[in-house]
Structure 1
Amino acid sequence: MSSTPLNIQAGTSIPAADAEEEPSFPSYDGPPFLSYGFRPFFLSASLFAGLAVPIWVRLFAGAGSASFLYPPRDWHVHEMLFGFLSAVIAGFLLTAIPNWTGRAPLRGIPLLALWLLWLAGRLCLAVPAASPITVAALDASFLIVLASLLWRELYAVSARAQMPIAVMITLYAAANLLFHAAALRGLSTDLPERLVLALIMLLLTVIGGRLTPNLTREFLAQSGTARLPADFSRLDVVAMLSVLIAAVIWIVGPDLPAAGWAFIAAGVMNVARLLRWYGWVAYREPLVLILHIGYGWVAISLLVLGDTVLGAGMPQANALHTLTTGAVGAMTLAVMTRASLGHTGRAKRAGALTVVIYLLVNVGALLRILVPQSESPTALTHTILQLSAAAWSGAYLLFAVAYGPLLVRRSLDEP
């Protein structure tokens, strides 16, 4: 296998730059599709995102009906936060863990079983074939198993530096359980939604905050550029802590002015953090530039959410979509494209189709936050929403088309 973009450097707590070499693992002679977690989960996440969002838009427009376990709005929220995103996270973690621990990756039949567990959750929530409690338990079990695998691997080598990631994935699994517990009883799911959105902010700030400068530094160093991103410092720590503080206040009191001001402070800190990485110098390589754009969405989402909480910004639904369609959309595709190239033995350079993928996901995010909000959606609302869905979902479908063949075949550097 080629050097991985999902490794970590000694002494850090989250993924950083590419390693010189990967650990040596036992030989694997099974299907290439099941050789590494990124293969089934990245492809499945892209196909699911490409289908689920247009289905939701059609239902929102009243052009059909569904027999989901939950009402369409709750189904849409759950499946994007706990269905689509959990697949991306699983693909990332299952590929990164071997480099964190030096232990063999999950592959073959065990990987297939985990992927089928994720798939069963998606199918049963869409077309319930058992009791609601059984379906909810089936879906919830995926993240519980994923968190358990992560803890097992980290504990086996006493990898304490990576355990904060395991804590966040455990909380992610707990948020899914809370969502099901509330939804099955017909109660509001606002609390688990805020919890998982807060976790997303933290994951993007922690993981994106190391991937972005480290991969930028690698690219600029190879290009012979003198100006390199600033090293990890107290400012980075303060920026991450500011997001944690804002997230906790928001979970406890979503309407508190303190939450709004905390978000704005966190946004300012993360804008300052982003500027220290000199992303504009890496404009020649979209595979690197997209990481800066994605982290820019993170910082913007914090500022926008702060304004919204204080009553001076855009509607809450639009503000939240700066995080979900903007930050999550750009950062997930940035990681998915780079990992798919690097782990299949290909040059880590963005081709024309990859650039189109990045353009589509950002256009879709911009359109989504411009959707007018009203009690009775107008034709303009539906039109902008449909264009947004077409662009955003189209980015993931194009990923499946462009990268799917790479994910099901052997790596170029394998026998």
Structure 2
Amino acid sequence: MPAVLTYGFRIFFLAAAAWGITAMALWLVWLAVHLNGADFAVLSIALPPFQWHAHEMVFGFGLAAVAGFLLTAVPNWVGCAPVRGLPLAGLAAVWLAGRLAVGFSAWLPAPLVLAVDALFPLALAVTLARQIVPARQPRNLGVVAVVTLLGLLQVLSLGDALALFDNPLAQTPARLGVELLVLLIAIIGGRITPAFTRNWLVRQGQEVTVAMGTWLDRGAVAVTAAAVLADAAGAPDGLRAVLFAAAGLALLVRLSRWHGRRTGAEPLLWVLHAGYALVAAGFLLMAAAVVGLLVESTALHLWTIGAVGVMVVGVMSRVALGHTGRALTAPRLTTVAYGLLALAAVVRVAGPALSPAFYSPALLTAAGLWVVALLLFLADYAVMLATDRPAAGSGGA
């Protein structure tokens, strides 16, 4: 079978990167036209452009990356064969059908668009459940619950945007989708970041203890989940601010125990520490936004660009290298991509915070940096993911 259909990470990491570029480039074009006081006479989407942007970055780009990781990791966790071949191609086709349905939603019946878009998270949740349930490992069913919740939020997001029904939640579904992705990063990133760090330090001859699975780790995840649930339920501002701040501080304390300062020589590692730090910083900024010290969209974009973007690209590159038998050393372009994503997050957050005059330039600059970063990722990984041949400049086999 084609190499791209042998593992979920291959086709879905390609899909996530390609759609991350395409969707952001389209948003960048619309944004540039709109900020210049013009508009398009005809749009193929029925959603307001800003809602389409949020929907596609969370449930198009984000969920594709999640699918690539889980379809690769779950078989390793439970000891079963990975989904490959025609079933994997079918999953990818369903994901693509959702993107096309939403992209041409102005010319299609709204219920059909909603139904097609909802198929992928449902199919992914069923696929993962069929792997986990026979293995009798209930602790891993949490990922099925997360994918199911993301699918529910995806339906609510699109249904609300298409005016099929009102959003019953206290916050927008896309915002809650971001928070659910951040919670998933806090959980899974909290597993892989210290483990990868410990293994690398041992190979470097540094005998250190990397804290994992302690009461502090469990407590940090618990308060993070509580903050997300309180926000989803529309809890009072005071409680939300306290929980956001507590989650941010707890995650920072947790991160400080993983010896990130020793990983500067290996970008594949420090990018995971940086992504986790941005998760924590996002919670602190959300606390500031709740009490009126900051515009909320600024805090959210630290999560979307910084936490989700940096961590997703970091994990995609690490998984791709490891599962294709290559040396676990970040290629040069990939390292640059990490830096550009971090810079995009800083620009998007700092620009509007410094002055309203910087708002539009910050948006355009951050979007451009995002596109360039993912193009650099594909330059290093497209051949690696799509074929069995080594990619030029990939760092070696």
Q: Determine if the TM-score, normalized by the shorter chain, exceeds 0.5.
A: yes
Matched, 1:163 2:141: yes
Q: Report the residue type matching 2:156 in the other structure.
A: L
Partner Cα distance (2:5, 2:110) in 1: 31
What's the CA shift string for 1:242-284, capped at 9, x where partnerless?
Answer: 1011111111126621101111011111110000001011111
Q: Which portions of structure 1, spanning 4 or more consecutive aligned residues, are displaced by more than 6 angstroms?
A: none
Matched, 1:69 2:40: no
What's the CA shift string for 1:78-129, capped at 9, x where partnerless?
Answer: 0011010010001001111211222211111111111011111111211235
What's the CA shift string for 1:30-66, capped at 9, x where partnerless?
Answer: 1101110111110111111112112212212316533
Which of 41, 49, 54 is equivalent to 2:25? 54
Q: Which residue of 1 aligns with 2:269?
A: 288
Q: Which residue of 1 aligns with 2:151?
A: 173
Per-residue deviation, 1:162: 0.6
Q: Which residue of 2 aligns with 1:345?
A: 325
Paired residues of 2:182 and 2:308 also in contact (CA < 8 A):
no
Per-residue deviation, 1:161: 1.9
Which of 56, 73, 85 is equivalent to 1:96? 73
Q: Which residue of 1 aligns with 2:89?
A: 112
Partner Cα distance (1:64, 1:31) in 2: 43
Q: Which residue of 1 aligns with 2:345?
A: 365
CA 388–119 in structure 1, closer or farther in 2 if over 3 Å, else same: same
What's the CA shift string for 1:308-340, capped at 9, x where partnerless?
Answer: 11112x211111111111100111011100111
Paired residues of 2:341 and 2:370 also in contact (CA < 8 A):
yes
Moved more, 36-45 or 181-190: 181-190
Paired residues of 2:55 and 2:158 also in contact (CA < 8 A):
no
Instruction: Please give the residue correspondences for 1:309-320 in structure 2 after superposition, counting only pairs within 5 Å.
Output: 309-312=290-293, 314-320=294-300
Paired residues of 1:318 and 1:368 also in contact (CA < 8 A):
yes
Q: Which residue of 1 aligns with 2:253?
A: 272
> Is the partner of 1:342 in helix, strand or coil?
helix
Instruction: Please give the residue correspondences for 1:13-412 in structure 2 after superposition, counting only pairs within 5 Å.
Output: 30-61=1-32, 62=34, 64-65=39-40, 66-128=43-105, 129-185=107-163, 187=166, 190-253=171-234, 256-312=237-293, 314-372=294-352, 380-410=358-388
Per-residue deviation, 1:373: 7.7
> Is the partner of 1:185 in helix, strand or coil?
coil
Paired residues of 1:365 and 1:388 also in contact (CA < 8 A):
yes
> Is the partner of 2:149 in helix, strand or coil?
helix
> Is the partner of 2:361 in helix, strand or coil?
helix
> Is the partner of 2:352 in helix, strand or coil?
coil
Paired residues of 1:318 and 1:371 also in contact (CA < 8 A):
no
CA 370–57 in structure 1, closer or farther in 2 if over 3 Å, else same: farther
Paired residues of 1:290 and 1:331 also in contact (CA < 8 A):
yes
Moved more, 219-228 or 318-327: 219-228
Q: Which runs of 5+ in 2 are unaligned?
A: 391-397
Partner Cα distance (2:367, 2:160) in 1: 28
CA 255–72 in structure 1, closer or farther in 2 if over 3 Å, else same: farther
What's the CA shift string for 1:151-179, capped at 9, x where partnerless?
Answer: 11111211212111211111111111221
CA 113–87 in structure 1, closer or farther in 2 if over 3 Å, else same: same
> Is the partner of 2:148 in helix, strand or coil?
helix
Per-residue deviation, 1:142: 0.4
Partner Cα distance (2:212, 2:233) in 1: 34
> Is the partner of 2:172 in helix, strand or coil?
helix
> Is the partner of 2:212 in helix, strand or coil?
coil
Q: Which residue of 2 aligns with 1:20?
A: none
Partner Cα distance (1:159, 1:176) in 2: 27
Paired residues of 2:241 and 2:286 also in contact (CA < 8 A):
yes
Q: Report the residue type matching 2:177 in the other structure.
A: V
Paired residues of 1:255 and 1:309 also in contact (CA < 8 A):
no
Task: State the Cα RMSD in Å.
Answer: 1.9
Identity of aligned residues (%): 38
Q: Which residue of 2 aligns with 1:27?
A: none
Paired residues of 2:99 and 2:117 also in contact (CA < 8 A):
yes
Paired residues of 1:361 and 1:393 also in contact (CA < 8 A):
no
Aligned residues: 380
Q: Which residue of 2 aligns with 1:8?
A: none
Partner Cα distance (1:325, 1:387) in 2: 12
Partner Cα distance (1:146, 1:287) in 2: 28
Q: Which runs of 5+ in 1 are unaligned?
A: 1-29
